[in-house]
Structure formats: C-alpha cells, structure tokens
Structure 1
Amino acid sequence: MKKVLIVDDSHIVRHNLKKIIDSIEGIELYDEAEDYQSAIEKIVDETPDILILDINLGEQSGIDILYKIKSGLNSKPIVIMFTNYTDPIFRKAAKEAEYFFDKSADIEKLISTLKKLGGNGTVE
C-alpha cells in the first residue's frame, strides 16, 4: 500500500483529493499539510511514498519543498506537482518532480497516475 501526503493550502482541494485517494486501490492517505513547515515535518516523521504538492503555499512554495526533498532529505517520495501555476517558468522550476499536472485540466491524468503508482498498471 502506497502512502500519500497531500500538501495544498486549500481545504477544498485537500478534501477532494482525499476522496479520490480513498477510491483508488493500492493508495492510502498518510496525511495532509497546508504549509511548508508542516509538510517538511510530516515528510521527515513518516516518509510518504507519494507527495501531491501545490506550488502556492503562502510564505514558502511547493517548489521550496521539492528542492528540500531532492537535495537533502533522506525521504525521496515520488512528487506530483498539482497546481494552477502551469506557466513554463513554474514547470522549469519544478523539473525535478516526477509529474506535473494542471489542477484545472489534468485531474484524469492525476487519477490515472495514482492508479498506476498504486499497483494497477505501470506508469507511462
């Protein structure tokens, strides 16, 4: 069973993502965070397998979390950037994420990817 951590400052988005995760076999919600500090603490405390990460988190961004994970933490979850900030500059900044999805257009891609990561197929 793959553990997922959702990091998004929107309660509504976290709620909707939890419902999606609950419906996918092989994936379970580990926890959720709404800001940088709580996300880093949860990543260090119990290493999630998958991180669904927004860019806009208030004072620090999801890109800051991505850099911290890729450069220094022992935990190396699969990172799925799931954001409304899809301009090329953000995609380039988040290039170390394994996946990058637009919240407004790529929900089916996110679901498909989570299903594959949960063991229901191979990720393309």
Structure 2
Amino acid sequence: MQLRSERLGDVKDLERAISYRRALVDHTPDDHRDKPGRLISLGNCMQLRFERLGKVEDLSRAIDYKQAAVDLTPHNHPDKPSLLSDLGNSVQLRFERLGEVGDLKSAISFKEDAVNLAREPS
C-alpha cells in the first residue's frame, strides 16, 4: 500500500499503510528483533504523509518512531549507523521546515554518531 501510494499518490493507501504498521508496532514487544525495523517503516510512512500533506506533526511523529528504533538497537548492531543517519535526515528536514536551531544541532549530532559508529572496527 505504501508503494502504491508513492506511485499513484493515493493518500488513502498511505493511511491504510500507516494503520497497519502502527498495529504491527503496537503488537510487537520491545525486545523482539524486528521492532526497530517496524518502527522505521512506520516512521517512513509518517514522513511520507508529511511530504504529501505538509503537517509538521506527522514529521515529528516520524522522528519519534525513528528515535525509538535507534534506542532499541544495540550499539554494535550493523544497522545502527544507517538508523542514526535516517533519523538525522528526518530531523534535518524538520529544521528546514521550522528553522529550529536545536533540530540542526541534533541532525548534525545524529549524523556524526552514524559516521563514528560506522568507522568502529567490527
């Protein structure tokens, strides 16, 4: 549904995708290995809705979901740098929309953390 919404621009498909992903996240325990990925997927849908409808609340919720995914992912997990980078990109987008300097600082920090973590030996 998310893909169809992206291709055809149907907001109803996006709303259904958000609803299904939210239910999946709500029914996934925090210690389940798939929870971070499900949070990211929901966050991406919320960000897409922001891009379509322009509601900053959707972007803020996307950031919250992505932050939760980062928080649930162990430091040494191979996906952690990309999760941090994705979170940084979303916070940067909010900075570009609202101009809040705190968002700019956070975006830079998340991206620096991603680079530093990616450089660490495995």
Which structure is richer in relative contact order (CA contacts within 8 A, separation 6 or more)? 1
Structure holding more strand per residue: 1
What TM-score does the superposition give when structure 1 sets the normalisation length?
A: 0.31
Give the number of the structure whose alpha-carbon radius of gyration is greater: 2
Structure holding more helix per residue: 2
